[in-house]
Amino acid sequence: MAEAKPTKKDKTLHVKVASPFQTYFDEPAYSISAVNDTGPFDILPGHHNFITLLIPCEIKIRTTSDEDMKIRISGGMMHVKADMANVFLDV
């Protein structure tokens, strides 16, 4: 079954993925998916405050444009608060 695409009326959260010397993504998005020690997870708008360590994985960001973004990481940390998801790499 085909995955439903979000509409422009759908809520977003601000996603920032950055290392100390480079910003990979810093825009609104519909969701972000990653993997921690307990397994894969998704962050959607309205998610409760959340902090976790990320294991090596491919982060998937469902952007507000037609293209989803994938970023391969070797680990990092994610902090979610007030519809903002910050991913810190290489820390």
User: What are the residue ranges spanned by the domains of the chain?
Assistant: 13-89
List the one residue out of 77, 82, 74 whose CA is nearest residue 17: 77
- Class of the CATH domain delimited by 13-89: mainly beta
Instruction: Write phi, then psi, for 12 (nearest 5 degrees).
Output: -130, 170
- Sign of the alpha-carbon dihedral angle for 87, 69, 75, 20: negative
Residue 21, helix vs strand vs coil: coil
At 25-72, the pLDDT tens digits run: 999 999 999 999 999 999 999 999 999 999 999 999 999 997 899 999
Residue range 4-9: average pLDDT?
54
Full-model pTM? 0.87
Find the mean pLDDT for residues 76-85. Answer: 98
